[in-house]
Amino acid sequence: MTTHHQPTAQHLAQALGETEAQPHRQIEAIMHTLGIDVALDLLREPQAIEAQGGLLTSDATRRRTPGGVFFSYARTRMTPEQRVTVFGQSWHHANKSAAAGHPAPPPHPGVSWTERATLLHDARTQPGKATTVKVTLIGKPGKVIEKPDFTLLMLNQRGPLPALPKGIPVPAQVPATSYVVYIGAKQWRGVAAALKTPDDGLIVEGTQIYDAEYDAIAVFATNTTTKALQQAKRQQQPQG
């Protein structure tokens, strides 16, 4: 295992609450097998799922830990051979035995995307109030419009959707969504040079409103960085 993976692996382990040596080794193995960028992207899955109430284990007896969610989604990115390499033969045999001895229950029919209309009708009778709205966009800018005080760009998102907790209704085909992003001049100066690297990507955190005039989501950036700048910052942080 290459040593340059260790600082990032330690960051991932801390973020996931994994303190034992074995999960730490598995995180390093995932980074070696799938790449650092994929491993960092996988970290967002537990964070998003925890914010939505968590994900149950396969036997539905308890919620998965953030580390459990991370490893579960990592396995979906691997071939069977890679799973054995990362998690070992003992995990592979135990998983096969459990599957053979405890067949999965029949799937719950759930609620379709079309059927959500009834639920929305009921929810609209007594809506709550959102006091804070946050959004994160990750992508590659196209045409960039630079003004003295801000930069404007547009990002189109056409799916696919990320992995979501089971049971959530989703459309059969994800419609295209346009985002018009407004970035302050100082923030843009901090990322403009990095974005000239072909394999880097923009990361924008901000608040959003619906711009009906242009049928798009207007995003006002509060923090702007890139994947490479974010990774470099993590590696510079002192390790505890």
Q: What is the pLDDT along the chain (240 residues), one digit of tens a residue?
A: 445 667 888 888 888 888 888 888 889 889 888 888 888 888 877 767 766 666 666 655 667 788 888 888 888 888 888 888 888 876 555 565 555 555 545 545 578 888 889 899 999 999 999 999 999 999 999 999 999 999 999 999 987 777 777 788 888 888 999 999 999 999 999 999 999 998 899 999 999 999 999 999 999 999 999 999 988 888 887 765
Domains of the chain by residue range: 3-101, 131-236
Distance CA 227, CA 99 (A): 38
Kindly state the tokens that stand for 78. 């691997």
Which segments of 141-215 are extended strands (E)?
Answer: 144-146, 150-157, 177-184, 202-211
Handedness of CA 63, 91, 67, 69 (dihedral sign): negative
What residues pair up with 210 in beta bridges, in sequence order?
217
Residue with tokens 């295209």: 176
CATH class of 131-236: mainly beta
CATH class of 3-101: mainly alpha
pTM (two decimals): 0.58
Kindly state the tokens that stand for 194. 């990095």
Sheet holding 150-157, edge to edge: 135-139, 202-211, 216-226, 177-184, 150-157, 144-146
Query: Which amino acid is it at 111?
Result: V
